[in-house]
Amino acid sequence: MTPQKKGELGIDRRLRTNREKMQLVDDLRPTYTLSELLREVGLPRSSYFHHRVRLEVGEKYVVLRRAVTDILDATTAATATAAYRPRWATSA
């Protein structure tokens, strides 16, 4: 690992997701300017604000996802697969 240069944030930006970069920027925002942080982590301004809004709004289909999960958990794996891909009668 290469030694950290003065002024670097100490992260490898290639190993971080945009959401992780956004959270890092939020944590360091009181100390540095937004443009400075976004430049250092390599995150476009639009991606930063997109992920902030997504965290604030929450998941859109959480109720539907829970209902589908409950239904699939209540059935066996074979039944769930058969319901997803109905078998067509073949004339042999």
Number of domains in the chain: 1
Residue 77 falls within a domain, yes or no?
A: yes
Instruction: Check: pTM over 0.75? Answer yes or no.
Output: no
**What digits encode the pLDDT tens for the residues 31-89?**
999 999 999 888 899 988 888 888 887 777 888 888 888 887 777 555 545 555 565 66
The whole domain housing 56 covers 13-84
Q: Own/partner pairs for 23-27, CB < 8 Å, 24+ apart?
A: 26/52
Residue 8 falls within a domain, yes or no?
A: no
Helix (H, G, I), strand (E, B) or coil at 29: coil
Residue 17 falls within a domain, yes or no?
A: yes
Please report how many Cα atoms fall inside a 13 Å half-sphere around the Cα of residue 16, on the Cβ side: 17
Residue 4 falls within a domain, yes or no?
A: no
Residue 6 falls within a domain, yes or no?
A: no
- pLDDT of 1 reads 44
Structure tokens, 35: 């443009």
Distance CA 90, CA 61 (A): 37
Q: Pick the more confident residue, 10 or 1.
A: 10
